[in-house]
Structure 1
Amino acid sequence: MAGGSSRRRRRSRLRARPPQADEPSPPPPVAAPAPAPASLGNRESVAEEGPCKRTCDVSGSTASPSSGSHAWDNLLDSMLHQIIALISSFHDFLAFTGTCRSWRAAASSFPSVYTFAFPPLHLEPDIGHGILNSNPKWKLVDPAKKALSLRCSVPRITPCRMRYLGCSNGYLVFSDREHCHLVDVYTGAKVTPPKLQSDGNSLIYGILVAPLSSPNSHLILFSKTSILRWQVGTNSWTVYPLVGEPILQVVFFKGQVFAMDFVQRLHTIHIVPQLSIQEVAVVWEEGMLVGMHSKPWLVVCGDMLLLVDLSVSMDLLFGFPGHFQIFRLDFSDEPAKWVKMQKLDSWALFLANDRRTSTFSCMNPERWGGKSNYIYVPTASEDDDEPWTAIEVGQPVPSSTHHMSFSSAATAHSCPLNSLWVLPSLVCGVQL
Structure 2
Amino acid sequence: MTIQYFREVTTVERTSKNACPASASTSLPLSGPHVCADLLDSLLQEILLHEIIALFDSFHDFLAFIGTCCSWRAAVSTFPSVHTFSFPPLHLKPDGPYVHPHSGPIKPIPLSNCKWQFSDPSKKNLSLACSVPKNSPNKMHYLGCSYGYLIFSHKVHCLLVDVYTGSKVMPPKLPPNNDLGYFCGIGILTAPLISPNSRLLFSRDSMFEWHVGTNSWSEHTLTLDYELIYQIVSFKGDIFVIDALLRLHAIHFRPQFHMQKIAIKKEFVPMYSWLVVCGDMLLMIDQRFSSGGLGGSSNAFFRVFRLNFSVEAAKWVKLEKLENYALFVSPDRRNPTFCCMSPERWGGKSNCIYFARLSEDPDETWTAVEFGQPVPNNAVRSMLFYDISSPPDCGVLCSLWVFPSLVYGSG
Q: Deviations over 1:147-195 (max 9, x none)?
A: 1101113213654331110101000101111211100000111111111
Structure 1 length-normalised TM? 0.81
Q: Which of 236, 241, 255 is equivalent to 1:259?
A: 241
Structural mapping, 1:10-409, within 5 Å:
46=1, 52-59=3-10, 61-62=26-27, 73-75=38-40, 76-127=45-96, 131-156=109-134, 159-203=137-181, 204-223=185-204, 225-244=205-224, 245-285=227-267, 288-289=268-269, 294-320=271-297, 321-379=299-357, 385-409=363-387
Q: Deviations over 1:361-384 (max 9, x none)?
A: 100100000000110111278999
Q: Is the 8 A contact 2:111 2:137 kept in 1?
A: no
AA aligned to 2:129 is R
Question: Aligned to 2:372, what secondary structure does the other structure show?
Answer: coil
Q: Is the 8 A contact 2:305 2:319 kept in 1?
A: yes
Distance in 2 (CA, whole Å) between partners of 1:119 and 1:68 is 25
AA aligned to 1:176 is H
Distance in 1 (CA, whole Å) between partners of 2:362 and 2:324 is 24
Query: Is the radius of gyration larger for structure 1 or structure 2?
Result: 1
Distance in 2 (CA, whole Å) between partners of 1:53 and 1:382 is 23
Give how far 1:275 is off: 2.1
Give the % identical residues.
52
Question: Aligned to 1:426, what secondary structure does the other structure show?
Answer: helix
CA RMSD of aligned residues (A): 2.4
Distance in 2 (CA, whole Å) between partners of 1:65 and 1:283 is 52
Q: Is the 8 A contact 1:310 1:402 kept in 2?
A: no
Number of matched pairs: 376
Give how far 1:414 is off: 2.2
Change (3 A) 1:235 1:384: closer
Q: Is the 8 A contact 1:126 1:132 kept in 2?
A: no
Q: Is the 8 A contact 1:182 1:192 kept in 2?
A: yes
Q: Deviations over 1:238-293 (max 9, x none)?
A: 111122122111111122211111111111111344322110001132xx33xxx6
AA aligned to 1:279 is K
Question: Aligned to 1:134, what secondary structure does the other structure show?
Answer: helix
Cross-structure match for 1:32: none
Cross-structure match for 2:106: none
Q: Deviations over 1:210-251 (max 9, x none)?
A: 11111111100001x211001111111111112212211111
- Listed as ranges, the gaps of 5+ residues in structure 2 are 12-25, 102-108
Give how far 1:86 is off: 1.1
Cross-structure match for 2:23: none
Give how far 1:72 is off: 6.3
Distance in 1 (CA, whole Å) between partners of 2:57 and 2:164 is 19
